[in-house]
Amino acid sequence: MTTTTNTTEATNTAALARMTENLNKVEALGARLTQILIGRETHQSSLDAPNQELFTKAAQSYWSEAMQNPAKLIEHQVSFWSKSVGHFIEAQQALAKGSLKAPEDKTPDDPRFANPLWSSHPYFNFVKQQYLINAEALSQAVDDASDLEPAEKRRLQYFSRQIIDMMSPTNFLATNPDALERAVQTEGESLIKGLENLISDLEANNGELVVRLADENAFELGRNIATSPGKVVFRNRMFELIQYSPSTETVHATPVVIFPPWINKFYILDLKEQNSLVKWIVDQGHTLFMVSWINPDRSYRDTGMGDYIQNGFMTAIDEVKKITGEDQVNAVGYCIAGTTLALTLSLMKQRGDTSVKSATFFTALTDFSDQGE
């Protein structure tokens, strides 16, 4: 019994020592983080939220409404106070019963709060419920801002949702049971890795908080990206044209040519074999071509929409026709390239050019009267 007790104590002591050591590393990383933020280069205003004008108009609208209809403002405030105080009383009553138990929770299901502690632990449950009460009050205030243009109202609603989501307790270590449990399980190692990732993102973007969404070392050509065999068959200053090798004994006569977004993400259509659209199209017996756009530098500053249409879309279609000997192609436009394909088709119609047999659009806008969020 004594041996077991001594072993347990030794294990706990070692774990505590590792935790202390890692927390010291966290402090050191925090100091490094501060230096990066202090020494960052010129701020990129393009990364900002909308300017203060939108929020100023929203505040003016809110107070104008309050002056014209004070009963409405008082009703909202009293409702918020009532819910907050009622929530506090319920939590106090649960604690007064002498058991560590959360009060009754009637909040709707939310994937952010999937951890059972959000419902069972009085601290986390109180934080969650109060956050949802606050979020409801803020959303109501925004919805009641009536003295705004419809477009400004939609912008305000969008950005207020971002702010509300940003302030979720799941985004902060002290109020996130998943993060806290992970920190304990890893003896603080998860905190170190998280800070190292943050610092790495900041250093890669001159101090701007632009979070990388993927591991840049995770992809390998031919293994999990660009896995379909093919070759470049044409090149000009706007794009390269890739022709993929057939995988069937016979192919359909009319070739397919895909125009991906200008930011050159054609490779997302050809990752590994299991989810490659390129492979699937080729396996259906189609002769497939893909446009790979140039990543423009300063020398392309005078390049316009006409260049993309004439030297990009029109040229690619002509080259595909020459290579295959066919008079028509089936065209696919993806995102902004879908918008430009629609413009190209309009121009071709005016010219009497029937080179496109069919056109397919992936997530493409052609009507910008309602752009959405």
- Give the tokens for residue 250: 């016979």
Angle of helix 150-166 relative to helix 122-143, nearest 10 degrees, comes to 170
Cα–Cα separations (whole angstroms), residue 135 to 100, 160, 161: 26, 10, 9
**For residues 45 and 124, what is the distance between their CA atoms, to the nearest angstrom?**
37
CB 227 within 8 A of CB 272: yes
Q: In what order do the strands lie in the sheet with 329-334?
A: 230-235, 239-244, 288-293, 256-259, 329-334, 356-362
Alpha helices per DSSP H over 229-335: 277-283, 305-307, 315-324
For the chain, how big is the Rg over CA atoms in Å?
Answer: 29
The reply to whether 335 belongs to the active site is: yes
- Give the tokens for residue 119: 């419902």
Name the amino acid, one letter, at 196: E
- Give the tokens for residue 226: 């660009």
From 58, 256, 278, 335, the catalytic residue: 335
Residues with a catalytic annotation lie at 335
